[in-house]
Amino acid sequence: MNTTAAQIPNHLVWAILATLFCCLPGGIVSIVYAAQVNGKIAAGDLAGARDSSEKAKKWAMWSAIAGVIVAVLYVVLVMAMGGLGALSNSGY
């Protein structure tokens, strides 16, 4: 393996973390691209490996951003409804 191939990260850890904690659909796409990187390096397709690596990174990043946005919107919605007490004291 040459030094160029060793410098192409697969971003698999970030893809898995984004899937588990942020946004499932985007995280799965990121995992698929991350899983392609090492195979493309082994086949000698360094340009394809770089492309898959960048796509895996982009999808993991956007999944994390989407997860944060959804969490913030959830907190805003709960606060707008009067906090968590309003949800648990429905009167039933």
Whether 54 and 11 have beta carbons less than 8 Å apart is answered as no
For 18-33, what is each residue's pLDDT tens digit?
999 988 999 999 999 9
Residue with tokens 């893809």: 15
Distance separating alpha carbons of residues 73 and 83, to the nearest angstrom: 13
Whether 49 and 41 have beta carbons less than 8 Å apart is answered as yes
pTM score, whole prediction: 0.79
Angle value at C-alpha 10, between 65 and 66, nearest 5 degrees: 10
For 82-91, what is each residue's pLDDT tens digit?
766 655 655 5
